[in-house]
């Protein structure tokens, strides 16, 4: 089984102490890594456009991108922010 970085996986999120949600625990100062935030009511808001940057390896099945999405992370296109509210499961 080839290696897939946790940041490339759809179900992996990094929750920062200030409530920001990211994908990578290395590129903490890169704005593209802040993909959302925790709201005061406990829900998670995800910017779909930013999440798509990290998920592109699954879209095109590119093993080098799956190994490290951050290496070739494209610039974020100027689109309207599209937030997804992730509800608590359980």
- Of 81 and 28, the one with more pLDDT: 28
Cβ neighbours, 10 Å, residue 10: 10
Question: Quick one: pLDDT at residue 85?
Answer: 58
- pLDDT exceeds cutoff 50 at 90: no
Question: Quick one: pLDDT at residue 42?
Answer: 87
Phi, psi of 86 (to 5 degrees): -95, 115
Question: Quick one: pLDDT at residue 89?
Answer: 44
* Structure confidence by residue, pLDDT tens digits, 1-49: 579 999 999 899 999 999 999 999 999 999 999 999 999 998 999 999 9
Q: Within 13 Å of residue 70, how many CA atoms lie on the same side as its CB?
A: 16
Cβ neighbours, 10 Å, residue 78: 6
Determine the Cα–Cα distance for residues 33 and 20; give it in Å rounded to an integer: 10
Question: Quick one: pLDDT at residue 43?
Answer: 92
């Amino acid at each position: 089984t080839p290696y897939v970085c946790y940041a490339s996986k759809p179900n992996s999120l990094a929750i920062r102490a200030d409530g920001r949600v990211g994908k990578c625990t290395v590129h903490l100062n890169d704005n593209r890594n802040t993909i959302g935030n925790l709201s005061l009511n406990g829900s998670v808001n995800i910017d779909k456009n930013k999440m798509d940057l990290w998920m592109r390896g699954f879209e095109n099945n590119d093993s080098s991108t799956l190994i490290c999405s951050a290496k070739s992370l494209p610039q974020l296109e100027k689109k309207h922010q599209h937030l997804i509210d992730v509800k608590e499961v359980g």
